[in-house]
Chains A and B, each alone.
Chain A
Amino acid sequence: MPAEIRIPKLGMSVTEVTLVEWMFGDGETVEKGDVLYTVETDKSTTEIEAQDSGVLRVTGEEGESYKIGDVIGTIG
């Protein structure tokens, strides 16, 4: 079953982040530990690593705002 990619909780007060960039495209294969995407908060930009390996399915859009816990794709 594909693993969900959810926006992580990155700080004490952060509730929303902007998805800046996907490092891989829809349908590409990713390895656990690869930098998967970056997010921006009002504090800084953070790289998020893939926690699973497999085929990436992208649903979240670059430049859009997401809340903590929002699903932006799957790896399966």
Chain B
Amino acid sequence: MSEAETLEAAAPKAKKPKQITMVQALNAAIDEAMAADEGVILLGEDVAAKQGGGVFKVSSGLTEKYGEHRIRATPISEQAIMGACVGAALTGMRPIAEIMLMNFVTVAMDQIVNHAAKLRFMSGGQTNVPLVIRTTTGVGVGFGGQHSDMLEAWFAHVPGLKIVTPSNAADAKGLMRSAIECNDPVIFIENILCYGLKSDDPGTDYRVPLGQAAVAREGHDVSLITYGRTVLDALEVAETLAGEGVSVEVVDLRTIAPYDEATVTASVRKTGRAVVLHEAVRAYGTGAEIASRLHESLFNELKAPVQRIGGAFSAVPMASVLEQAWIPKKEEIAAAIRTTMEWKR
């Protein structure tokens, strides 16, 4: 053996990092937060041990550890769930409200929009609402029109709310801890299709700051800006286009609102081209805000107008072939990128 090989053979073997799924990551983050602060509680339908620890198992094992007064299964009463969490938050607790599916936030809109978002302002700063609203959604599992909506644009439009969504398990862990510790209401959007994604376990007390985007893949020809499940599509498209000689930079917002404008602007200033991608309906989506801001700040430096890709303008259809047609396709994303590459002023 060479000297180098001898040294390597003698070195203590680094342990292969443990892998965790997004569900396990969320569960661990909430567990750690609950251990550190008695004020962290979870309210939602079917969340307690008696009901199996949550329909997606995110609160599995927590009732046994912390008790039914901290993991409270509720009746089907979204207004009551949300209001109770707002009230508890006003006293300095850090409640997590679980809204089983994002479409059901519509039942709790008064508490979210008229109260959670506005009480710090309307009280002149005397009270605040350190609340996390966890909710699940996602297109592609055949849940149909009332169980698949991505509504982040609605909430981004309400001053006083923060919105985050993880694209991987490690970020899920870090974002959840930060969301719980944030002193303002955070809407934490989970995607059904991402629950099984695996990452290396980032370890105890891992944090991802709110308002900080991640460059998931570096590139220099075009910036592909996205969040949530579509980050995976973006990375696949970037890999494919690399073969065509197009270098795509993928920016994962992680916090949808208020988003990391500095990172996004720096990326697009570098590449001169941008495509904004989200699973939510394209029309009037968050992509419109981001594209508009890029046009305002980088108009003379852009090599092409900012492109937007999003879901189709209809309720999400039930039939599988229609549902798949509804979802933004990788070919569409690639085509949008090529449009920016081929643009002639």
Direct contact of A and B (CB under 8 A): no
